[in-house]
Each structure stands twice: as structure tokens, then as C-alpha cells.
Structure 1
């Protein structure tokens, strides 16, 4: 994943635990940006470039405040942190791509 300097990378495939910043670039309904932790990418049929994502809206402290399914343009999502598995099989988040 590559992104222009100063911008987080966009998503190519979402995984449980990924942390996203969802803005109006993903859908006009998100004119106020929000943090979103992915549960899963839903396999529902959509328009090309759009995706349904199930997850949790987070507050400024990173605490879940609402479970949501959002319909967004994949190219407009900013991936802040990718969830990866370490050698013991448990999840370990990567460092944040940006701080804001």
C-alpha cells in the first residue's frame, strides 16, 4: 500500500481489527470524520468500488461507542493501523501510520 506523502494508505482488503479513519472521501455522510474498528468486510453485492464494512465507531479515546455497518467507497478509506498476526497466532496491531 502506498499513499501520497502525509496521507495514510488506502485499503485493499479489510481485516478484523483494522483501524480506519472514515471521512467524506469515503461517503458524503461522513463529513465529520470518525474512527472505525473493522469487524469484517461484508460480502454483499455493491457498486464497483463500494463496500459494506461491519465494525465499531470509536470515540476520541479509542473506545467503542456504537456498532455499525457502513457503506463506503474503498478508495476513500484511510487505513491508520493494520491488524496483523504475530508468530504465536494472536493479534498484534502495527503502529499507527499517522497521528491526528
Structure 2
């Protein structure tokens, strides 16, 4: 699906944003797009999105509105990480003896 100007419409999902999506992403970020903000009239090839920035576990850390190029957004699959699996495993005694 595309807008009248030919810019692709975005569907909700998880995306990796790099410099290809906008120069502001010198350090890539992961976002969960809630919706494209279609009531705004950005220049050709750009759009506004409502999204949540995600941490390394896929949890939302901040709600944001971003100005991006849809063609530069890379969809990704992020499997949820159960809370129990997020803890670091305990270090063995041998690691303490040698370290």
C-alpha cells in the first residue's frame, strides 16, 4: 500500500532504524511502530510514526514520534525474552579462583 505520492505506508510491527531511515539514527535503534501518523503532510519519501523505542529484551522504554523514511526501515522479528531468562547465570567458583 502506498500514499498518493508513492511513499510506502507502514504497518505496525518491529523495525530497526539506521541512517537509512533518517540521519538522526547514527546509532541504530529498535522500535515497535504503533501507527503511521497520516494526518501530517511530510515531504515526498518521508512520514511520521508513533512508536515505542525498545531495549535489548524487546521491552518498550520510551514512547516517541519520529520523522523517518519508510524505505529505510528494516522489519525485524524480536522474540520476547522471559524475565527469568534475563538474569545472568551465576559465576562458578572456578571463575573466581582464576580471575
Q: TM-score, normalised by structure 2?
A: 0.66
Aligned: 1:54 with 2:50: yes
| Higher normalized helix content (fraction of residues) | 2
Q: Which has the higher contact order (CA 8 A, sep 6+)?
A: 1
> How far apart, CA to CA, are the structure 1 residues paired with 2:67 and 2:8?
16
Aligned residue-pair number: 72
Aligned: 1:66 with 2:62: yes
Structure 2 residue runs without a partner (length 5+) = 1-6, 80-99
| Higher normalized strand content (fraction of residues) | 1
Residue among 15, 20, 23 paired with 1:25: 20
> How far apart, CA to CA, are the structure 1 residues paired with 2:73 and 2:11?
13
Cα RMSD of the aligned pairs, angstroms, is: 2.1
Structure 1 residue runs without a partner (length 5+) = 1-10, 82-92, 96-100
Corresponding residue SS for 2:42: coil
Greater gyration radius: 2
Moved runs in structure 1, 4+ residues, more than 3 A? none
> How far apart, CA to CA, are the structure 1 residues paired with 2:56 and 2:43?
31
